[in-house]
Structure 1
Amino acid sequence: MTSPNIALNALKLFLCVMRAGSLAQAAKESGLSPSAVSRQIASLETELGFRLFDRTTRRLSPTEAGRLYHHRIAPLIDAMEEARHIAADQVCSPSGTLKVTASVAFAERWLIPRLRGFQDAYPAVELDLALDDTPLDLVAEGVDIAIRLGARVRGDYIVSKLMATRYRVVASPDYVSRVGALARPEDLRERRCLCFAIQAYRTRWSFRKNGRRRSVDVPVRASLTISSALAVRRAALSGLGPALLADWTVADDVMQGRLIDLLPNWEASAEAFDTAAWILYPSRDYLPAKSRVFIDYMRACAQARPS
């Protein structure tokens, strides 16, 4: 008879195969070979006395018995894993792999520069950054924490605000010395701008003053349209024109004089005002210590950031 420990590992592998939908993907997620996964599933089926999956050369699908068994066993295995993590968190420092997803630009300009302090404080936590400008399915991709940007976020997740964000119209000192500053948003009508390649960013920019609800919409003409926010910043630094960029992208550039905020008394936007960076994680009753300390550390960084 299979030992209890091996049986538990086999059950966890069964859940992994059900979630992944294929032996190859389950093998990738579990660090095993597809043949090893297949043998363990076959061994579990022998022990249980019924087939969990119907297999063909091209397809793997759960049997009716497999679906019923998964429905019953999954909450029990999840509860056992949660109990193990809760107990371990009481006696151990945060550890393990923490998978975090964010956009490429946000990671490069805000997140990565702040990771040294986190790693110094929690050396047993290994960070796995999945950088993607397309929002990932946190459950399907095995993501622990996501950082997303916008006025609001959607999805069946636990969501909390990391920090408010604002947008600025910036240009290099060289550009300002050659072309001149802006007295008001409407002056942008006479300028050729650097535009981010999203429709809202390349046709008009909106402005409001001192938090007033009434906004001013200004049509913009592009001299250069770029599909990367990081490249838009680089173009602005090179003196190619004014650009609308998030403060987390250019705050240190403005503070150190590499870029100038052309309209410092105005809030700017292409799509919506009152935007923010949000922290998300899959809904669960228990938040692992590695996730909790990462969230707390990032919030401390956000509170300490220059405005």
Structure 2
Amino acid sequence: MDTNLLRIFADVANQPSFAAVARERAVDASSVSRAIAQLEAELGVRLFHRTTRTMALTEAGELYLARIRPLLDELERAREEVLSARTSPSGTLRLTASVAFGTVCLMPLVPEFRRLYPDLRLELLLTDDNLDLVTERIDLALRLAPSFRADLVGVRLMPTRYHVVASPDHAASLGPRLSPKDIRDMSCLLLNLPEFRTGWLFAKDKADDVVEVPVRGDIVISNVLALRDAALAGLGPTLLADWLVRDDLRAGRLVDLYPGHRVTATSFDTGAWLVYPSRRFLPRRTRLTIDFLRSKFLGMVAAAPA
């Protein structure tokens, strides 16, 4: 069987749209439709339910896709092994990250990555949804958490630390020598996650005693980039990760209200992780991307203030 038909079928199953696949392949939509019709004729089954507006896999189509995906993956790996002597990797790498982390920490690295690997097609899925790596056929994910799922392989890129920050003017209005308990009397800017909008945990540096302080606020925001903007505008104190506010703290645009404390909403042991579905048969482009990101984030950690 023509393996190109199988690849077209897998592409249509992922989209699912003849027109979208045709655009990616720079061909007419009719040729994609004919390829699917040819494959269905050879198999003697219908692979897609089609209407004027929707397209979905039939039960037979789902079974067939599950069987051929490993075959197509093996063919792609074999191709990469043959071409492994090339200076620059090729193919498509799909990487996902949260909107904020991707914008602040990942996008500044893309120009250099592009210069190093000009033949690699990069698809960045910046979303706050926790995408399934296998279902979405994602090669790598940048995740912010204390750990990651046991069925994934992970590399810790850097630890994260949280700070209670406010604009200089707002910080001055609060007075000196703040203690954690003072937070309960402030109108804070809150992230719209259950742990972040109810109470924050405080611990003195190099001390184990943890104090949980209730928080309240009239402004609740679902995006940390907007939350930082609100803090910069002097609307109140908020809890944000170091990677998001490091430059603002250095430049004096924000002030750390509790520099002698560790603060968090969930766990003090959190980090940025690079995770992927499997260590086995890792494509060369994925290995090179992992090495690139590890080196860059290691540099970020080394440059960060103690």
Structure 2 length normalisation: TM-score?
A: 0.85
Aligned to 2:276: 281
Q: Residues 69 and 100 from structure 1, CA distance in 2 versus in 1: closer, same or farther, beyond 3 angstroms? A: closer
> Shift of residue 45 of structure 1?
4.1
Distance 1:55 1:237, change over 3 A: closer
**CA distance, structure 2, for counterparts of residue 243 and residue 220 of structure 1:** 10
Quick one: percent identity of the two aligned structures?
Answer: 43
The alignment status of 1:293 with 2:293, answered yes or no, reads: no
Per-residue CA deviation, residues 101-153 of structure 1 (Å, 9 max, x unaligned), is: 11111112221123232223223333222111111122333322111111122
- RMSD value over aligned CA atoms? 2.8
Alpha-carbon distance between aligned partners in 2 of 1:31 and 1:284, rounded to the nearest angstrom: 33
Distance 2:266 2:66 in 1: 43
Checking the alignment, whether the CA contact within 8 Å between 1:27 and 1:33 is kept in structure 2 is: yes
Deviations 1:143-185 (A, max 9, x none): 2211111112226332221111110111122222233244321
Using the TM superposition, give the Cα deviation of residue 92 of structure 1 relative to its aligned residue in structure 2, in angstroms: 3.8
Instruction: Report SS of the residue matched to 1:91.
Output: coil
2:96 maps to which of 87, 92, 101 = 101
**Runs of 5+ unmatched residues, structure 2:** none
Matched, 1:178 2:173: yes
Residue matched to 2:7: 12
> What's the counterpart of residue 210 of structure 2?
215
Q: Does 1:202 align with 2:197?
A: yes
Q: Which amino acid aligns with 2:86?
A: V
Structure 1 residue ranges without an equivalent (≥5):
none
User: What is the distance in 2 between the residues matched to 1:250 and 1:59?
Assistant: 45
Which amino acid in structure 2 is aligned with residue 167 of structure 1? Y
Matches within 5 A, 1:84-123: 84-123=79-118
In the TM superposition, residue 193 of structure 1 has moved relative to its aligned partner by 1.4
Question: 2 CA distance for matches of 1:11 and 1:145?
Answer: 24
User: Following superposition of structure 1 onto structure 2, how do residues 1-307 of structure 1 map, counting pairs within 5 Å?
Assistant: 7-17=2-12, 35-46=30-41, 48=42, 50-51=44-45, 53=47, 55=49, 57=51, 61-62=57-58, 73-154=68-149, 156-283=151-278, 285-305=280-300, 306-307=304-305
One-letter amino acid of the counterpart of residue 195, structure 1? L
8 Å CA contact 1:52–1:63 kept in 2: the answer is: no
1:53 is aligned with what amino acid? L
